[in-house]
C-alpha cells in the first residue's frame, strides 16, 4: 500500500448539526487516532476515548482515503472544536533477519509506518515557532530563558544584540490590575502593573521592590481617593537607600485622581 502525501490532522468547529467527522488520512489501527475536543469558553482540551466517546467505521481502517468517526454524545456543540490526529508510536517492532523469510508486505508495512511517523513529525513541526532560514542558528540561541517559569503576562523578545530570546513585562492590553485598600502597607512585586490605590480615611503605603532586581520594570499608580489631609495620605517608599528621581526617602502621592508611572533603571527609580 502507498501512503499519500497528506497532513495527518483534521480540524472542525461544531455547529450543532453533525456528529460525524472525517479523518482524511491513512489510519492502520483505530487506537492510533487521537481525538480531542476544545471548548474555547473553558480553554481546555479534552481527549475522547475510542468506543466510549466515539466510534470508527471499519471501512475507514487501512483506507488511504481515510474514514469517519461518530461522536457518541451526538452533534458537536456550536463553537466547540474537534481535532483528529494520527498518532503512531515512535517505535519499530518489525525484526528482519539475515537469511530469513522475505515477505514483501512486511517490508512495505514498515516503510509505510516510517513515512506516517515522518508526516506526524512534520505536522507537529509546522506548528512550532521557527527562525527564518536566513538566520544562522549557530549565532542565535532558540533556548528559552531559564526564568520563564511562573512569569505570566511576560513577552518573549529578541535580545538587543540579536543573539537569542529574553523576556519583558507585557505592555498595553496585557496589564494586570491590582487594587490596594485604604490603610494597607502593600509590597509591590514584578507581577504588578497597574495599581488602583485607595486611602479614604486611612493612610496607605506602597513599598517599591529592589530596583537592582527588576531593571525596566514599570509600575503605573492611580490614586482613587480625595487629596489633602493626613487621613488620605499615599506614601511611596523605595527599597533601602535607593532613590526616586534622584531624591532619597519616601514621597507622598497627592492630588485628586493623580496618576504616576515609575520605572527601574536597574539601580534606582524614576517618575514619568
CATH number, domain at 244?
2.60.120
Which pLDDT does position 227 carry in this prediction?
A: 62
138 located within any domain: no
DSSP secondary-structure letter at 241?
T
In this structure, are 110 and 178 located in the same domain?
A: no
What pLDDT score does 6 carry? 82
Which residues of the chain, if any, have pLDDT below 50? Answer: none
Residues 35 and 119 in one domain: yes
78 and 176 in a single domain? The answer is no
- Rounded Cα gap, residues 218 and 170, in angstroms: 10
Instruction: Name the residue range of residue 230's domain.
Output: 169-271
- Residues 259 and 186 placed together within one structural domain of the fold: yes
Beta strands in 150-272 (DSSP E): 154-158, 165-169, 177-180, 185-187, 194-197, 204-207, 218-223, 234-237, 243-244, 247-248, 251-252, 259-264, 269-271
Residues 13 and 113 in one domain: yes
Q: How many domains does the chain have?
A: 2
**pLDDT confidence of residue 231:** 66
Residue 151 falls within a domain, yes or no? Answer: no
Structural domain contains residue 118: yes
226 within domain boundaries: yes
**Domain co-membership, 206 together with 260:** yes
- Strands (E) across the chain are located at 9-13, 20-23, 33-39, 44-47, 54-56, 67-71, 81-86, 154-158, 165-169, 177-180, 185-187, 194-197, 204-207, 218-223, 234-237, 243-244, 247-248, 251-252, 259-264, 269-271
* pTM, rounded to two decimals: 0.52
In this predicted structure, what is the pLDDT of residue 31? Answer: 93
Does 63 fall in a domain? yes
For 16-75, write each residue's pLDDT tens digit.
999 999 999 999 999 999 999 998 877 888 999 999 999 998 999 989 899 999 999 999
- 117 and 184 housed in the same domain: no
Tell whether 42 is covered by a domain. yes
Q: Are residues 116 and 175 in the same domain?
A: no
Amino acid at each position: 500500500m502507498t501512503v499519500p502525501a497528506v497532513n495527518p490532522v483534521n480540524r472542525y468547529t461544531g455547529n450543532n448539526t453533525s456528529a460525524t467527522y472525517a479523518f482524511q488520512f491513512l489510519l492502520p489501527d483505530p487506537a492510533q487516532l487521537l481525538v480531542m475536543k476544545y471548548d474555547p469558553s473553558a480553554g481546555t482540551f479534552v481527549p475522547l476515548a475510542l468506543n466510549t466517546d466515539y466510534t470508527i467505521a471499519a471501512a475507514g481502517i487501512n483506507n488511504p482515503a481515510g474514514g469517519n468517526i461518530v461522536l457518541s454524545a451526538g452533534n458537536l456543540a456550536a463553537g466547540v472544536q474537534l481535532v483528529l490526529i494520527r498518532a503512531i508510536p515512535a517505535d519499530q517492532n518489525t525484526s528482519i533477519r539475515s537469511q530469513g523469510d522475505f515477505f514483501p508486505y512486511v517490508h512495505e508495512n514498515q516503510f509505510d509506518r516510517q513515512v506516517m511517523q515522518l508526516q506526524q513529525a512534520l505536522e507537529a513541526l509546522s506548528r512550532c515557532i521557527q527562525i527564518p532560514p536566513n538566520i544562522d542558528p549557530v549565532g542565535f540561541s532558540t533556548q528559552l530563558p531559564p526564568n520563564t517559569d511562573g512569569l505570566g503576562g511576560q513577552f518573549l523578545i529578541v535580545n538587543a544584540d540579536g543573539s537569542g530570546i529574553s523576556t519583558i513585562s507585557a505592555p498595553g492590553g496585557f496589564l494586570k490590575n491590582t487594587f490596594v485598600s485604604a490603610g494597607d502597607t502593600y509590597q509591590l512585586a514584578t507581577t504588578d502593573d497597574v495599581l488602583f490605590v485607595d486611602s479614604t480615611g486611612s493612610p496607605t503605603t506602597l513599598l517599591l521592590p529592589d530596583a537592582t532586581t527588576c531593571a525596566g520594570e514599570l509600575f503605573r499608580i492611580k490614586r482613587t481617593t480625595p487629596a489633602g489631609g493626613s487621613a488620605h495620605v499615599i506614601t511611596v517608599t523605595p527599597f533601602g537607600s535607593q532613590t526616586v528621581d534622584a531624591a532619597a526617602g519616601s514621597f507622598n502621592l497627592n492630588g485628586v485622581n493623580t496618576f504616576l508611572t515609575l520605572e527601574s533603571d536597574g539601580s534606582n527609580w524614576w517618575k514619568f
